[in-house]
Amino acid sequence: MRHNPSHHRRTPGRRLRAVAGAAAAGSLAAAGLVALAAGPATAATWSGSCSAGYVGLTFDDGPTAGNTTNLVSILTSNGATATVFPEGQNVQAHPDLLRAYQQAGLTIGNHTWDHPHMTQLSQSDMSSEISRTQSVIQQTIGSAPQLFRPPYGETSSTLKSVESQYGLREVIWDVDSQDWNGASASAIRSAAGRLTNGQVILMHDWPANTLSALPGIFSDLKSRNLCPGVVSASTGRAVAPSGSSGGGSTGGGGSTGGGSSSGCTVSLTKSGDWSDRFNVTASVSGSSAWTVTLNLGSGQSLQNSWNANVTSSGSTLTATPNGSGNSFGVTLYKNGNSNLPTASCNASGSGGSTGGGSTGGGGSSACTVSLTKANDWSDRFNVSATVSGSSSWTVKVTLGSGQSLQNSWNATVTSSGSTLTATPNGSGNTFGFTLYKNGNGNVPTATCS
Ligand SMILES: [Zn+2]
């Protein structure tokens, strides 16, 4: 996604992309990387521990002749998965490169046909941008995307309603690598260093510096026990890849299971698998104040857990939020049984839009929120808010003079005068909003309770 206002004019953006593509091969050689021959590479296995969770690496605007093959080679040779958001017009021009994404096991989203400012289009033109892209991807690889990223991160309630007509989950980002803006490889690498479990980073399938940054990014993730994951179509958060990543829409069969009962749903995915034990990633949707019960199979026992409070009693595990969002994981000893356990979810508290639900057990007001400015345009800017200490929070944002709300994502946000009130909507503990500046570009203040 190119946010520089100069890219409102298409021609300079085209020239920039062409230059970046031509430079990619030379830059790779300079970095000492091996560019594999075209064709399906044999995927390596990610060699790091995933005990700290998963992050979503995303690459927009492809496929790009001269770049996509190198990107796919770097990802597969490192055993790394990723999510790509191609433009329909580029898919039409390079269907072979879309298939290269698919053969590498990447998740393929929709990034419109030709990268317009979607919020400036009529509803029918929005629909056309999305449907043409769904169709060309479906025709090329046999399945249609479930994820959609609007160009420039610009969205609106009208656009969201069009997305929902196509069953698409909107995915913005938590961290902007600024690779579209000429960031150096080391700056892109350090941006990725800010990723935490479940978060998504914006990168692109055309800058040479992005290719150069990837080996360092992988090295850093390994040292932090984070792994490249997939972006969940139900939560928009990065989660463990399933055993069968089709690269397309369905996610298919394989090692997934789950269940639901009241007010929330949990899905289980097998992630790491060793001879004596395996990892299970659980993603909860529908509530942020949940209790998940896992019924272990015969012989199985708990080794370890992360991102939730997990207790074990007999063959039952009980998990509740610990402030790390709505995805958590456990490691189970197999003792000869490698079947996924079954799970059910119960929401505590009212999951409604005004509620937030008390989790009980006290201390539910102990949370903190930090705001950072994400994207910045002449008339408005994005703010990313990260809550820690609780999954059942209410954040009050006090806008600066003149500022007003344009849009929000990953939380239920209401506006009254100069105060915004945000509560969880099941997308985890990071949310964002776009503010009109009206001459005031200061980041607002916020409190959490
Ligand atoms: Zn883009």
Q: How far is Cα 432 from Cα 436, in angstroms, rounded to an integer? A: 14
- Which residue, 339, 74, 62, 107, is CA-closest to 240? 107
Residue type, 119: T
Main-chain dihedrals φ then ψ at residue 281, nearest 5 degrees: -105, 130
Tell me how far the alpha carbon of residue 2 lies from the centroid of ligand 1, in angstroms: 5
Structural tokens at position 408: 């929000």
Tell me how far the alpha carbon of residue 87 lies from the centroid of ligand 1, in angstroms: 8
Question: 83-85 and 380-388 as β-strands: parallel, antiparallel, unpaired?
Answer: unpaired
- Predicted local distance difference test score (pLDDT) of residue 20: 37
Mean pLDDT of successive 10-residue segments in the chain (449 residues)?
Answer: 41 37 38 37 76 97 98 96 98 98 95 98 98 97 95 97 95 97 98 97 98 98 97 94 43 38 74 71 83 87 79 87 80 80 74 31 61 75 84 90 82 88 85 83 89
- Predicted local distance difference test score (pLDDT) of residue 380: 78
How many Cα neighbours within 13 Å face the side chain of 84? Answer: 32
Tell me how far the alpha carbon of residue 397 lies from the centroid of ligand 1, in angstroms: 29
Tell me how far the alpha carbon of residue 205 lies from the centroid of ligand 1, in angstroms: 9
Domains, the chain, in order of start with CATH, read 47-239 (3.20.20.370), 256-347 (2.60.40.290), 368-448 (2.60.40.290)
Tell me how far the alpha carbon of residue 45 lies from the centroid of ligand 1, in angstroms: 29
Ion ligand 1, residue ranges at CB < 5 A: 1, 60-61, 151
What SS3 string covers the chain?
CCCCHHHHCHHHHHHHHHHHHHHHHHHHHHCCCCCCCCCCCCCCCCCCCCCCEEEEEEEECCCCCCCHHHHHHHHHHCCCCCEEECCHHHHHHCHHHHHHHHHCCCEECECCCCCCCHHHCCHHHHHHHHHHHHHHHHHHHCCCCCEECCHHHCCCHHHHHHHHHCCCEECCCCEECCHHHCCCHHHHHHHHCCCCCCCEEEEECCCHHHHHHHHHHHHHHHHCCEEECEECCCCCCEECCCCCCCCCCCCCCCCEEEEECECCEEEEEEEEECCCEEEEEEEEECCCCEEEEEECCCCCEEEEEECCEEEEECCEEEEECCCCCCEEEEEEECCCCCCCCEEEEEECCCCCCCCCCCCCCCCCCCCEEEEEEEEECCCEEEEEEEEECCCCCCEEEECCCCCEEEEEECCEEEEECCEEEEECCCCCCEEEEEEECCCCCCCCEEEEC
Tell me how far the alpha carbon of residue 77 lies from the centroid of ligand 1, in angstroms: 25
- Predicted local distance difference test score (pLDDT) of residue 328: 80
CB 59 within 8 A of CB 214: no
Tell me how far the alpha carbon of residue 61 lies from the centroid of ligand 1, in angstroms: 5
- Predicted local distance difference test score (pLDDT) of residue 274: 62
CB 261 within 8 A of CB 281: no
Question: pTM surpassing 0.75?
Answer: no
With a CB cutoff of 8 Å and minimum separation 6, the contacts of 103 are 40, 41, 72, 247
- Predicted local distance difference test score (pLDDT) of residue 43: 57
Tell me how far the alpha carbon of residue 225 lies from the centroid of ligand 1, in angstroms: 29
Tell me how far the alpha carbon of residue 117 lies from the centroid of ligand 1, in angstroms: 10
Tell me how far the alpha carbon of residue 67 lies from the centroid of ligand 1, in angstroms: 15
- Prior bond to 63 cis, omega within 30? yes
- Predicted local distance difference test score (pLDDT) of residue 357: 31
Tell me how far the alpha carbon of residue 150 lies from the centroid of ligand 1, in angstroms: 7
> CB-based burial of residue 60 (10 Å sphere; 0-12 exposed, 13-18 middle, 19+ buried)?
buried
Tell me how far the alpha carbon of residue 165 lies from the centroid of ligand 1, in angstroms: 22
- Predicted local distance difference test score (pLDDT) of residue 30: 36
